[in-house]
Amino acid sequence: MVDAVLLILREVLEAALILSLLLALSNKLQLRYHWSLIALACGFLGSWLVAHNAYAISDAFDGIGQELLNSALLLVAIISIIALSLMLLPLAFANFQPHNNSSQRATTLTHHYWLVYCLLVTTVSCSITREGSEIWIYLSSFLPSPETFYSAVIGGVIGAGIGVSLGAITYYLLAFMTEKIFLPTFITVITLVIGGLSMQIAKLLMQIGWFESNAPLWDTSFIINEHSWLGELLYAVIGYDAKPTATQGIFYLLAVTPIAVGALCHKWRLRIKNHA
Amino acid sequence: MKWMHNNFLHGIFLHSKLWHRGLWLVGLLLANATKAEVPTFTLEIRDHLFFPSTLVIPAATKVKLIVKNTDPTPEEFESYELNREKVIMGGAKAIIFIGPLPPGDYPFFGEFNPKTAQGMIRVEQ
């Protein structure tokens, strides 16, 4: 049962944290929460479909279908988060303008509400599909033996409960932030999250031999071991890797650069405006 | 100001040598990854155990690992040290590329049966 708790917790944690971050954003932007139910339903269905077709997916493209599908799901989530963050940047920097008009800020996203909802649903659906499919496959391995199956299900429920609780803590930590610091914090954290997701794509492409699996850039195992609970938590939040390779580094930079450049441009324009 | 802004982006994306170097590096990594035939080694999962439990591979060489799962239930090949993770369905096989690696021992395990399914990749000169 302990194995089931740990495995399900690992799978649930990343999706739960992404969902919590985006729910906190909904709270601050005064969006409705119904998108989260649609995303959960899509993710639930998507994960079941992936698990149900696991054999066909694994065999596809000469045995690399699993990696390609997971990479595609990660890529779609990353692109959605980048698009969402670039839309939020003007709002984040508007908070620092001296003659800031809240009604003007509120209308900035009004014309793009549908796009925002679509991006939120896509991000969460992709995360749940990827992580959830592994949970279905794991639980299916216990089906031949009802006793161990129920034990695994109970362990899974406990693991999922811990993951959801950590997600809830993250939500309330962010929801209680003032508006001025929420958006910069959100954009920073979500940028680190997509950096981590991009490193997972790099890892998958190295696993199928498409990219060189070169020597690690550094080894921080002696500070935070990936096996430790802190290492696991950091892996879920920012994709912590004690021994990242150059390929992973390049993917990380490619993922975080659009938001970093966008933020720098806004900062630069704000400085010019304030000096004008 | 708009002109300055556009000029700034233009400078970053079109005239930056960094951009070209990045593309070159990605191309090199891709080219190196696909250019040659790699030695192949096979692992088997049977009764939630890995056979052989210790697999010896050459150092500084990219290796193709074929993992055959002869059990009817799925298993996940996982290794923190090798930075690899792949679900292998029951009765199916999976291909995993590892290396080039320096000499040493690299443990791996089956995440669905971590108590029994344990093994080691031993990299030797």
Task: Tell me how close the Cα of A176 comes to any Cα of chain B, in angstroms.
Answer: 35
Size of interface A-B (CB pairs under 8 A): 107
Inter-residue contact B48 to B75 (CB < 8 Å) = yes
| pLDDT, mean of each 10-residue run, chain A (276 residues) | 87 93 93 94 97 95 94 98 94 68 55 89 97 94 88 93 95 91 94 95 95 87 87 84 92 96 91 80
**Is A265 in Cβ contact with B9 (below 8 Å)?**
yes
- Rounded to whole angstroms, the Cα distance separating A208 from B119 reads 21
Interface test with B, best of A131, A134, A135, A141 (most B CBs within 10 A): A141
Cα A84–Cα A90–Cα A91 angle in degrees, nearest 5? 85
Q: Which chain B residues are closer than 8 Å to A66 by Cβ?
A: 86-87, 94
Q: Which two tokens stand for residue A63?
A: 């045995």
Element holding B123 (H helix, E strand): strand B118-124
Q: What is the pLDDT of residues B28-58, one digit of tens each?
A: 556 555 556 889 999 999 999 999 999 999 9
- Whole-complex ipTM: 0.85
Residues A59/A62/A67/A69 CA torsion (nearest 10 deg): -70
* H-type alpha helices, chain A: 2-28, 34-52, 54-63, 65-94, 102-108, 113-140, 146-175, 179-207, 229-238, 246-275
Say what the pTM is. 0.87
